[in-house]
Structure 1
Amino acid sequence: MIIGTLGIFLLSACSKSAIISPEEASIQPETKTEGVVSAQAVPVGTVIYTSNGYQLTLTNNDPNFSETVRQKIVDIFFTKYPQLLTRFNPGVTKSIKYVIDPNYNGVAYTSGTTVTYSAAWFQNNPQDVDVATHEIMHIIQAYTGGTPGWLTEGIADLVRYRYGVNNAAAGWSLPAYSSSQHYTNAYRVTARFLAWLENRVNASIVTNLNTALRNKTYTANTWVTLTGKTVDQLWADYAANPAL
Structure 2
Amino acid sequence: MLFGRLREIVNRVDHLGSVVVTDLAEQFDVSVETIRRDLRTLEESGYLRRTHGGAVSLLETGVEALAFGSRKQENLGAKKVIAQSAVKLIRDGDVLMMDQSSSAWYLAQSLPDINLTIITNSVRIVFDFVQRPKIKVISVGGEYFERYGAFLGAITISNILGFHADICFHSCAAFQEGEGAWDNNELNAAVKKAMLRRSKSNVLLCDKSKFNHTGFALVNPVDRIDCMITEEGVTGEVRRGADSPRKEPRRGL
TM-score (norm 1): 0.33
* Structure with greater Cα Rg: 1
Q: Could you say which structure has the greater relative contact order, defined with CA pairs below 8 angstroms and 6 or more residues apart?
A: 2
Give the structure with the larger helix fraction.
Answer: 1
Give the structure with the larger strand fraction.
Answer: 2
TM-score (norm 2): 0.32
